[in-house]
Every structure is written in C-alpha cells, then in structure tokens.
Amino acid sequence: MGVFILKFIFLFTSIIYVCNGYSQETSKDILTTLDEVIAQREYFVTKKLDRLIELKESTPSPENEHYLTNYYAYCLRLYNEYQTFKFDSAYYYAKELNETAQQINNSELIASAKIEFANILISAGIFNESLKTLNSINLFPLSDKVKANYYQVLSRGYFDMESFSQSPEFAQDYREKGMAGYDSALVYLPQSSWQYHSLIAQKNLKLGNNDTAIVELENIISTYSLTNDELALPLISLAFTYGIVGDKEKELIYMAKAAMADLRGAKKEAVALLFLANNLYEQGDIIRASKYVNIALEDSRFYGSNFRLWQVSNFLPFIKAEHIGTIEKQKKQLWNYALVVTLLIIVVGISFVVIARQTVKLRKSKIIVEKTNKKLAVSNEELLLANRIKEEYIGYYFEISSQIIDKLEKLKLLVGRRLKKRQFDELSLEVDNLNIHKEKAKLYHNFDKAFLEIFPEFPNKINALLKPEEQIRMKEGQLLNTELRIIALFRLGIQDAEKLSRILDCSVNTIYAYKSKMKNKSQNPTQFEQDIMLVTRGANIENTSLLPK
C-alpha cells in the first residue's frame, strides 16, 4: 500500500511538472506581450493624467480649521503620483510638503517631508544635497515607520552613488554605508511586510547569496498583492539575480515583466526598459533594442531629470551604431539575393518573396533610424545651448571693445591735431563735450539688448519668483532696470559686489541694498539666488518646479 502511494505521488508530481513546463512563458512570448503593452502607453498615461486632474480638484479649503493638515495630505498624494512621473512637479510638491510641515510644527511630518525631498533629489542625481537633507533629521522622537523610510532612502542614495562612482575606494565606502542602512531599516520594518522581505533579498543579492535572494523575491511576487509601482522593484531585482547566476532566459523574462509594470503604472523614471534594451543588444536583437531605448529616451525626456537623460544617452550611441551596421548587413544581403535572382532565374519567384521581406525590414529600420536621429538632434541642440550663450557674449564683448577702441583712436587723432596746432581752448571744449553718462547709458542699453536676445522671458521669470505685490513693472521703452541688471550680471557669473559696483557705477553698499531688497521681495528668500540660476536655464516658465501649480 505504501509503495502504491509513493508511485501515485511521483506520477502526480510528474504530471504537474510537465504541465508547468508547457505553461512556462518563453522570452519570445513575453516580448510579444511587452510590445502589446507598449502600444497602450498613451492609454496608461491618460489614466494617470485623469487621476492627477481629479486629485487637483480636491484642493483643501483654507477656511477649514484643519486646512494645514489637509493640505499636507493633499501635497503628499500629488507628490507620490508625480514622483516617478514628472520630476519638476514632484520637486515642487516635495518643497510644499516641507513648508507645510514647518507651519504645522510637527516633528513627524517635518522628518517625513525631508525624507521625500531627499528621495526626489536622488532621482535627479543630486546626492550631496540629498545626504545633507537626511543628516539634518533628528531620528530620536520619530515612529518606526518614518525611521524605516529614512534608512531605505539613505541606502538608495549610497547605492546610487556606488553605481556612478569613478573611484573603487569611494564605491566601497558607499556600499558599506548602504548595507548599514539596510540593516537599520530592517530593524524598524514589520517582518510581515513585503518591504522587509525585499530588503532581505536586496541584502542577499549584494552579499552574493543569489539563491536566497531568488527565493525571497519569488515569494514576494507570489504572496503579496502589489501595485505596478511596487511590483517593478522585485521583478527587476529578480531579473538582475538571474542574470548574475547565468540564466539569461529568465533574466530577459523578468526584465520584460518589470518594464510592463513600469508602463502600466505610467512610470517615466524607470530603468527596466533601458536595461532590457541593453540585454537584447548583447543578444544581437538590434531592432528591438533600438526601439526600446528610443522609448526609454522619450520617457526620460518627459520625466525631466538630466540625470536620467544622461543614463539613457550612455546606451544610445552603441545601439545606434550597431543598428546602422545591421542595416548595412541587410543591404548586402539584399544585393546577394539580387545576384541569386540573375544567376538562378528558375527560382525567381522564391527570390522575389525574400527580397520583398528584406525590403520591408529595411524600410522599418530606416524609419527607426530617422526617428533616432531626430531625437539625437534635439538632444544636441540642448547640449549646445550653453556654448551658444558663451559665443553670443564673446561676440558682444568684442563688439563693445571694438567700439571703444574706435572712439579712443578718433579721440587720439583729434587730441594730436589740436596739440600740434596749439588749439588748447578747442581741445578743452572737446573734452568738456564728452558725455560719459550717455556712453554708460548706451553701454547698459546694449548689454540689456544682448542679454534679452538670449533670455527673452527673463523679466517675466524673475517676476514669477517675486511676491505678486512686489513684481517689477518696467517703464515704457525700458529693457532692464537696475535691479534686473544686477540679477542678470549675477546670472552670468559676476557675483562679486565690488565688480558689480564698478560696472554699474555705484557703491558697494548700493549693490548690497539692491540684492537684499530683491531677496525680501521674493517668495522664497533663502533660495532666491539658487532659483535665479534654475529659472533662467532656458526651461519653460510653466514647467519650472519653482512656480505654484
């Protein structure tokens, strides 16, 4: 009887194993499904935007006695929605969280707001300011939940710094601090939570305990009901782990699943599709790799973080070059087929079908290359903006210098003639007629004109930083007034008060007075100088994180 039961169990287990084997997804199947999800990208983004509109329509009323608490919760919801969708807006609501928490004067809320602000700075690659923000938090009175979040964000920052460090010594230090952050976070996380098991898996992955990491990650995916945003992390971690142990098929499958979770969640600050493109590139699937890296580039540009755009740009040239090489190979194949047609006329029908298929592939490849080139051209224009500004001001400098030299030369000739003829009275009259004030006014006018050619919206953008009642109103025919001219020179790197006083022909105290006055007029005096540099970088004033939403 016992032998019969064992045989039955063995047979039953074998049937389940065979059935599971047939039901396993292949990389080809999962990539087909991914392409279908990519085709629905706009639908997922539209759902996200509709949700944002609905949230923004629920703005708390200032007349409510719990307005600040409600407004904090409102900003937190919007920050969470924007965190992986749009950097500028997430940055704005992170700042609103900090300001509101300070007004409420609740240590728990203040710490939570600072943690989220540090988190969004990490997404932009601003690591020093992120760590500075985290180090300013006093953990002692905080709840376990806030402490766990603090150490998770701290670990994320150190591991990102490790990934982009150029020094092995510093990378090792960042890694050790990141692992210490994991250990601290595990102390405060509930052991029943998926985040706890995720950190256990991440820690084992860092330590090289790959089998343990795989078990933890697969358990998370099968046990917990996670949202698309939450699901993306264990999926991409599982993909990396399978890649380390050499299972390329499962690595690709889970990387594609992570990309689908990102797409369904309208996540624009994502890397799964980028890493999947690199994986396919290494396997020789250049067409798909080029397609996916283009989508990753679009998402990075939409998200608005230069740090993420730089990450994508590192992959793009290699895949593009390989893609062009693939096209050239296809062209050679096409000529070979044509040669076969001329030599073997009896198989002209078969050869015609082959050539037609190759032609279709070639056209699709050309379309992808053209799109890639257009996007690269836009990126190059953005990168050349700084150089163009320098060239404009070099030209302006030489033009003004040339005018001054011409005037000096004319004056020298005039003085020489008067002295030779001993016409001292006439020479004195010529000197009295020199209008230095007029020349300086002309110099300021030329500077204003040259500056506004590069930053045409400069006055409007500065006004956007000021309180509504303190905004600058220009006189008719005036380009920049003294206040705006000081800010313009500050933006160009002339920030020393003595230099500014010499250029503008006023005292150092006057310069300090103007700067202090403008700071007091601004909506955020402590950030005013940094805001000037950010607002005038060429971004649209509507999209800057410094403006009210």
Please list the residues that pair with 466 across neighbouring strands: 522
What value does the mean pLDDT of the chain take? 79
Spatial contact of 220 and 194, defined as CB atoms under 8 Å apart = yes
- Residue pair 290/323 in contact (Cβ under 8 Å)? The answer is yes
DSSP 70-131: HHHHHHHHHHHHHTTT-HHHHHHHHHHHHHHHHHHT-HHHHHHHHHHHHHHHHHTT-HHHHH
User: Which DSSP string corresponds to 131-166?
Assistant: HHHHHT---TTS-HHHHHHHHHHHHHHHHHHHHH-S
pLDDT of residue 455: 76
Secondary structure of residue 473 in the 3-state scheme: coil
Scanning the structure block, which residue is given the tokens 């997922």?
44
What tens digit of pLDDT does each residue of 58-67 get? 899 888 889 9
Mean pLDDT along residues 73-80: 95
Longest distance between any two alpha carbons in the chain, whole Å: 137
- Bridge partners of 522, per DSSP, are 466
pLDDT of residue 391 exceeding 80, the answer is: no
Structure tokens at 194: 């998926």
For residues 333 and 102, give the distance between their C-alpha atoms in angstroms, rounded to a whole number. Answer: 68
- The whole-number average pLDDT for the span 31-49 is 94
Q: Where are the domains of the chain?
A: 327-399, 435-535
Burial of residue 398 (CB within 10 Å: 0-12, 13-18, 19+) is exposed
Structure-token pair, residue 512: 């300090």
pLDDT at 237 over 80: yes
What six digits make up the tokens of 176? 């050790």
Decide which of 205 and 469 is more confident: 205
CA contacts within 13 A on the Cβ side of 256: 24
- What is the pLDDT at residue 412? 66
Question: Do residues 502 and 491 touch, judged by C-beta distance below 8 A?
Answer: no
Tokens representing 80? 């969470």
How many Å apart are CA 109 and CA 114, to the nearest integer?
9
Selection from 119, 186, 200, 199 nearest residue 147 by Cα: 186
H/E element, 390: helix 348-420
Residue-wise pLDDT tens digits, 261-295: 999 999 988 788 888 888 888 888 888 888 888 88
Of the chain, the percentage scoring pLDDT greater than 70 comes to 75
Confidence of residue 385 (pLDDT cuts 50, 70, 90): low
506: Cβ contacts below 8 Å, ≥ 6 apart = none
pLDDT band with cut points at 50, 70 and 90 for residue 411: low
Burial grade of 177 (CB within 10 A; 0-12, 13-18, 19 or more): middle
Cβ atoms of residues 466 and 521 within 8 Å: yes
pTM of the full structure: 0.56
Tell me the C-alpha distance between 57 and 39, whole Å.
30
